[in-house]
């Protein structure tokens, strides 16, 4: 390859590998007395409210390009999924009717939003286009399916399912509709999300005293504890590069706050705590280049015990 062309290619790869807006965290908080969405800036430490919207807003998930958030808005007996620009503009309602539609998760290619809905009776998994069109049911079970999380390759969804009265982590194959069970312990396992390389799941695992954060190797079917303290931890999420793990934890006041640790669970430290409840951290996606993928651009998007 000519030297000029090689230098040009290197410049392109460096540009793709950069994180344009920094590894921001979206989260939900009721610090003002009303549940709203916020974005925490890793660089400045600023915590900015995304929008002022009457009612309760929960469960933010990022669009792959980091420009929008999807979330669900609680209306009392019903709930609907909305999207909004990260600057608070372009608020758009995506679901209609009297059902409870909640827990959206954006696919990494940006083509779909998965969510949980009781529009056909019990809670099942559904998916729709980001404009709210082309709605499809993904699961049909008398139990409960909730909290979907797309795999990085878009082929599977991890979710929390209730079977025989217990909550466990399951995987759904999108093409075949086949389900496989990940966890089987007698306590609850929930809030599963994927590692950036798709090889592991991280989730909250209950034991006799509290919830801890567990990492599960999908191929080997083995788990290891990443965060284990005397209080509850939940809603774990790896950053796009896998170097950081954010999660919510129970404070001494009995509320939720947000901590961050290294990707292996070490060096954990408090990050966000307010006078209220701070929940469900979600890392802003960054565009990374995988050498194993021959330099192709690969966007990665990262993944109620108590309130909300």
Q: What is the pLDDT of residues 81-104, one digit of tens each?
A: 999 999 999 999 999 999 999 999
Residue pair 86/68 in contact (Cβ under 8 Å)? The answer is yes
Sequential DSSP letters for 37-76: EEEE-TTT--EEE----SSEEEEEEE-TTSSEEEEEEE-S
* Residue ranges per structural domain of the chain: 3-300
Phi/psi zone of residue 157: left (φ > 0), alpha (ψ -120 to 50 degrees), beta?
beta
CATH topology for the 3-300 domain = Neuraminidase (2.120.10)
Given a contact cutoff of 8 angstroms between Cβ atoms, the answer to whether 148 and 114 are in contact is: yes
pLDDT at 22 (0 to 100): 52
Mean pLDDT for all residues in the chain: 87
Cα torsion through 137, 143, 146, 151, rounded to 10: -70
Tokens at residue 269, please? 């430290």
pLDDT in tens, 17-70: 333 345 899 999 999 999 999 999 999 999 999 998 888 999 999 999 999 999
What whole-number distance in Å separates Cα of residue 238 and Cα of residue 195?
A: 6
For residues 55 and 75, is the Cβ–Cβ distance under 8 A? yes
CB-count burial class (<10 Å; 0-12, 13-18, 19+) for 46: exposed
Enclosing H/E stretch for 35: none
Note the pLDDT tens digit of each residue in 154-191: 999 999 999 888 999 999 999 999 999 999 999 999 99
> Mean per-residue pLDDT for 192-211?
96
Q: Given a cut of 70, is residue 302 above it in pLDDT?
A: no
Report whether the peptide linkage leading into residue 301 is cis, meaning its omega lies within 30 degrees of zero: no
pTM for this predicted structure: 0.85
Alpha-helix runs per DSSP H in 116-250: none
User: What is the rounded distance in angstroms from the CA atom of residue 43 to the CA atom of residue 48?
Assistant: 13
Distance set, CA 136 to CA 124, 160, 174, 240 (Å): 11, 19, 11, 28
Q: How far is CA 238 from CA 23, 201, 266, 283, in A?
A: 11, 10, 13, 7
């Amino acid at each position: 390859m000519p030297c000029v062309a090689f230098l040009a290619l290197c410049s392109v790869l460096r540009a793709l590998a950069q994180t344009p807006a920094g590894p921001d965290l979206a989260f939900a908080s009721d610090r003002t007395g009303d549940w709203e969405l916020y974005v925490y800036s890793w660089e400045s430490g600023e915590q900015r409210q995304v929008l002022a919207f009457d009612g309760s807003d929960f469960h933010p998930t990022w669009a792959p390009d980091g420009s929008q958030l999807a979330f669900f808005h609680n209306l009392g007996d019903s709930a609907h999924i909305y999207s909004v620009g990260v600057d608070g503009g372009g608020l758009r309602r995506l679901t209609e009717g009297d059902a409870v539609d909640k827990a959206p998760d954006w696919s990494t290619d940006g083509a779909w939003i998965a969510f949980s809905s009781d529009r056909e009776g019990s809670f099942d998994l559904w998916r729709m286009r980001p404009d709210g069109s082309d709605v499809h049911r993904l699961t049909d079970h008398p139990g409960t399916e909730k909290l979907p999380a797309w795999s990085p390759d878009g082929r599977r969804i991890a979710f929390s399912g209730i079977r025989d009265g217990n909550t466990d982590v399951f995987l759904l194959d999108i093409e075949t509709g086949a389900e496989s069970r990940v966890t089987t312990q007698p306590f609850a396992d929930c809030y599963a999300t994927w590692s950036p390389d798709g090889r592991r799941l991280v989730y909250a695992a209950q034991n006799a005293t509290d919830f801890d954060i567990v990492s599960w190797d999908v191929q080997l079917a083995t788990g290891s504890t990443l965060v284990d303290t005397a209080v509850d931890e939940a809603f774990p999420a790896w950053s796009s590069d896998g170097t950081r793990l954010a999660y919510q934890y129970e404070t001494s006041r009995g509320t939720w706050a947000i901590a961050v640790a290294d990707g292996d669970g070490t060096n954990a430290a408090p990050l966000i705590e307010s006078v209220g409840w701070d929940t469900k951290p979600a890392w802003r996606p960054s565009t990374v280049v995988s050498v194993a993928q021959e330099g192709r651009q690969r966007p990665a998007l990262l993944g109620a015990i108590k309130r909300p």
